[in-house]
Structure 1
Amino acid sequence: MSATPRRPLQEILDEFGPLKDGMAVAASQAEGYRGKLPDAMVDFWIEHGRGQWRDGLFWICDPEPIMPVLHALFAGDPEFDAARMVPFMRDAFGEVSVWHPKFKLITLKMNLGTVTTTDITTHVIEGVPPFDDDMAVAAAVDASVFDGRGWVDATTGKPVFDAVRRRLGPISADQVYTMVPHFRLGGDGAARDFSIGGFIEYLGVLAQIGSFTLERYIDPKQGGRGPFGHLEAVRTIGHDRLIDRDTL
């Protein structure tokens, strides 16, 4: 009996339907990313284009406009080379999911100033075999869109997206909900602090307001705190160790 063929990203289409506010991607443009991005995402662009799910909370995005921000953010970093990165998804608050051939999924939590990596091509969970690149990039999309939280108010622990969208209305592919006063500069990160601004412009500002920290996940079996483990700071982006922000 043959195994059922895998269909990366089909689960998300079955649950949420086609992308909204979609933009077609020319096959010639998409093919330029083949070998830099898993085939599953390149093929998805060709067949479905780019656009949003969940009322604009998550967007399959054009990598090109984001690249200058990545080059600035990772300039001089001893480990990450922005030239090998391909952003493929972002949320309504500026969090960006990036593919890298070595590290696989890189998550840029721009509002928090953190960078994390996840490689589920080497290990997933007990009893589940490692994914290949196609399934890994699909799993990254599935995990975000099915979860559907986005930015969470630090004081209440509640997602703010619904309240922000009701007050401000929807965003377009080149817009984002911007936070002022910003959380990294002493703001509360509450729903009332958001307005609508340019997506790339906002990323550029966030890349400059303070240093970014590479974090790694510590599993409870490896000493991680709490039932789900914790994130631990590894080093400052652009340096080979943790650098005190005041010394930058």
Structure 2
Amino acid sequence: MIKMVDEKFAYFYDKKGFGPSLEAQPVSQSQIQHYRGRLPAKLLEYWSEYGFAGYGRGRFWMTDPAEYSDVLNAWLHQTRFHGTDKYYVIGRSAFGNLMVWGTETGPSLSIDCPWGMIFPSDKSRWMNEGKGDLLISNWLAGMQMDSLDQADEADALLFDRAEKLLGPLANDEMYGFVPALAAGGHRRLDSLKRVKAVEHLMFLAQLVKPEVMIDIVKEAKDRGLWK
């Protein structure tokens, strides 16, 4: 039986049905030490206990930031975020959504690579109050199966059907649309392929300049609607 580090992980793993883990890759102590002070201690605790692994049958993957550093740079270098914080990819979905942590801004960016969109979210206040560990545990406990999925053109979710048709994902794979959506591809089951995640995400980054969406929280604060 897997050891539960805390109640939030137990909620994610058991109550929300993301367990069991798969394709777990052990994280070395040298890796843990490299990120100490850069990423929250709670995330490093999860890494140490569970490794870099997939959950929800591969809907969500807890990632090694080093493997996605070039991908992240390719997506951010044309945006206002480049150079403003030290960012790390700490998770990704089966369809190539990247979950990004900033040393100063917390879980402040989500990159929807298939659609070429970046969603910012203001978490700097929480970080200034020293609540990085709380943000990490809430991020994991708040994970939703459907939000990690992708819908086809009839708004029917694709993951279960893709897994049945193409087989389960390995830890370095994702389901990608071929041709890519940015190149005129279609959101259909027969357009999906099992592809290498890093290579496909790098390819997508070359297709389109990412569109940065409105940060709703920041917008509300700037207008004095939320303190």
- TM-score, structure 1 normalization: 0.75
When the two structures are aligned, how many residues end up with a matched partner?
209
Q: Residue deviations 1:104-144, cap 9 Å, x none? A: 22101000101112235648xxxxxx992112122223333
Q: Counterparts of 1:216 and 1:162 in 2: how far apart (Å)?
A: 31
Structure 1 gaps of 5+ residues are 1-5, 124-129, 223-248
Structure having greater relative contact order (Cα 8 Å, sep ≥ 6): 2
Whether 1:97 and 2:96 are equivalent positions in the alignment is: no
Contact 2:113 2:204 in 1 (8 A): yes
In structure 2, relative to structure 1, the CA distance for the partners of 1:208 and 1:49 (3 Å cut) is: same
> Given the superposition, is the C-alpha separation of residues 85 and 29 from structure 1 closer, same or farther in structure 2, using an over 3 Å criterion?
same
* CA distance in 2 between partners of 1:99 and 1:74 (Å): 13
User: Which residue number corresponds to residue 14 of structure 1?
Assistant: 14
Residues 62 and 87 in structure 1, CA contact (< 8 A), matched pair in contact too: yes
Contact 2:19 2:56 in 1 (8 A): no
Do 1:59 and 1:91's aligned partners in 2 also have CA atoms closer than 8 Å? yes
Residue aligning to 1:65: 67
What's the TM-score, normalizing by structure 2? 0.82
Question: Which residue of structure 1 aligns with residue 206 of structure 2?
Answer: 208
Distance 1:57 1:212, change over 3 A: same
CA RMSD of aligned residues (A): 2.5
Task: Select the structure of larger CA radius of gyration.
Answer: 1
Distance 1:9 1:80 in 2: 32
The 5 Å alignment of 1:187-226 reads: 187-218=185-216
* Change in CA separation of 1:43 and 1:178 when aligned onto 2, cut-off 3 Å: same
Contact 1:8–1:135 (CA under 8 A) maintained in structure 2: no
Q: Structure 1's 79 and 20: CA in aligned 2 closer, same or farther, altered over 3 A? A: closer
Long gaps (5+) in structure 2: 1-5, 221-227
Q: Which structure has the highest helix share of the two?
A: 2
